[in-house]
Amino acid sequence: MFLPYHSLIEAVAFHDVGKAATGFQKSLEPDQGYWGHRHEIVSAAFATALGVSDEVVFAIITHHKTLPPDFVTVENCLPQEEIPFTNNMKGVWKDMAKEWYANLELFSYEWRLICDSISRQDLYIDTTNKNNLLSPLSESVQKWLRRDIQTKVFTYEQREYVSLLRGLMMSSDHIASALSSDSTIPNPVVPNIPLSFENHDPRGFQISMSKYKGNVQLKAPTGSGKTKAALLWSQNNRKQNGRLFYALPTTASINAMYRNLHKDFPAEIVGLLPSRTVSSLYSMFETDESNNLDDRTRQNKARTLASLVREMYFPIRVCTPHQILRYTLQGRGWEAMLSEFPHSTFIFDEIHAYNPKLTGLIIATAKYLTKHNAKVMFLTATLPTFLKKILESQIDIGFVEPSYDITSDKRILEQKRHIIEPIDGSVLDEKNILKIVNMAKENVGSISVVCNHVNTAQQVYKDIKSRVNNTVLIHSRFNRHDRNRIENNLMFKELPKILVATQVVEVSLDIDFQQGFTEPAPIDAIVQRMGRVNRKGLTTPVKPNIYIFSDQYGGSIPYTKDMRDSSFKKLINLPKPLSEEDLGSAVDAVYGNGYVDDDLNDYDKGLNYKPLREFERYLKAGTNEDWVDIVIEANEGTVDILPEYMQQGYNDLKAEKKPIAANDLLVPVGRWALPFLMESGRLYQSDSEKNLLIAKCKYDYEIGLDFGDIEDDSVI
CATH number for the domain that contains residue 41: 1.10.3210
258 in the same domain as 134: no
* pLDDT at residue number 290: 46
* pLDDT at residue number 695: 93
- Kindly state the average pLDDT of the residues 464-488: 92
Give the percent of the chain with pLDDT over 70. 90
Alpha-carbon gap, residue 259 to 255, rounded angstroms: 7
The answer on pLDDT for 68 being more than 90 is no
454 in the same domain as 386: no
Choosing from 565, 594, 623, the residue where a domain stops is: 594
Q: Evaluate whether residue 716 is within a structural domain.
A: no
pTM of the model: 0.88
The answer to which of 49-58, 70-79, 245-254, 358-367 has the lowest mean pLDDT is 70-79
* pLDDT at residue number 640: 87
The 10s digit of each residue's pLDDT in 31-46 is 788 899 999 999 999 9
240 in the same domain as 265: yes
Banded pLDDT at 330 (limits 50, 70, 90): confident
DSSP codes of every residue in 346-372? EEEE---TT-HHHHHHHHHHHHHHHTT
Q: Evaluate whether residue 599 is within a structural domain.
A: no
Alpha-carbon gap, residue 594 to 157, rounded angstroms: 38
CA distance readout (Å), 234 to 113, 465, 705: 44, 44, 40
Banded pLDDT at 550 (limits 50, 70, 90): very high
Nearest CA to 318 among 262, 365, 362, 374?
A: 262
Contact criterion met (CB below 8 Å) for 218 and 379: yes
Alpha-carbon gap, residue 77 to 74, rounded angstroms: 6
Banded pLDDT at 649 (limits 50, 70, 90): very high
Alpha-carbon gap, residue 315 to 324, rounded angstroms: 15
Alpha-carbon gap, residue 304 to 180, rounded angstroms: 8
314 in the same domain as 237: yes
Q: Evaluate whether residue 198 is within a structural domain.
A: no
Contact criterion met (CB below 8 Å) for 174 and 378: no
The answer to which of 212-216, 378-382, 391-395, 545-549 has the lowest mean pLDDT is 378-382
Instruction: Give residues with Cβ within 8 angstroms of 477, minimum separation 6.
Output: 454, 667, 668, 669, 704, 705, 714
- Kindly state the average pLDDT of the residues 553-564: 82
Q: Starting at the earlier edge strand, list the strands of the sheet with 638-643.
A: 667-670, 638-643, 693-695, 683-685
**Which residue type occupies 450?**
V
* pLDDT at residue number 26: 93
570 in the same domain as 674: no
* pLDDT at residue number 536: 83
506 in the same domain as 379: no
- Between 209 and 332, the more confident residue is 209
The 10s digit of each residue's pLDDT in 500-510 is 999 888 766 67
Choosing from 535, 565, 594, the residue where a domain stops is: 594
The answer on pLDDT for 716 being more than 50 is no
Q: Evaluate whether residue 700 is within a structural domain.
A: yes
660 in the same domain as 544: no
Q: Evaluate whether residue 629 is within a structural domain.
A: no
The 10s digit of each residue's pLDDT in 6-25 is 899 999 999 999 999 999 99
Choosing from 348, 374, 406, the residue where a domain stops is: 406
144 in the same domain as 274: no
- Between 344 and 3, the more confident residue is 344
540 in the same domain as 488: yes
Banded pLDDT at 186 (limits 50, 70, 90): low
Q: Evaluate whether residue 186 is within a structural domain.
A: no
Q: How many CB atoms lie under 10 A from the CB of residue 295?
A: 14
Alpha-carbon gap, residue 471 to 556, rounded angstroms: 27
Q: Evaluate whether residue 59 is within a structural domain.
A: yes
533 in the same domain as 550: yes
The 10s digit of each residue's pLDDT in 611-621 is 888 999 889 99
Q: Please give the residue range of the domain that contains residue 42.
A: 5-178
226 in the same domain as 159: no
* pLDDT at residue number 199: 52
Q: What is the DSSP letter of 592?
A: T
The answer on pLDDT for 280 being more than 90 is no
The 10s digit of each residue's pLDDT in 579-618 is 988 998 999 999 987 888 888 998 999 999 888 889 998 8
Nearest CA to 312 among 292, 341, 279?
A: 341
Q: Evaluate whether residue 631 is within a structural domain.
A: no
- Kindly state the average pLDDT of the residues 222-231: 89
Contact criterion met (CB below 8 Å) for 459 and 408: no
* pLDDT at residue number 671: 76
136 in the same domain as 44: yes
Supply the CATH number for residue 315's domain: 3.40.50.300
Q: What is the DSSP letter of 345?
A: E
Give the percent of the chain with pLDDT over 90. 51
Number of structural domains in the chain:
4
Alpha-carbon gap, residue 310 to 173, rounded angstroms: 12
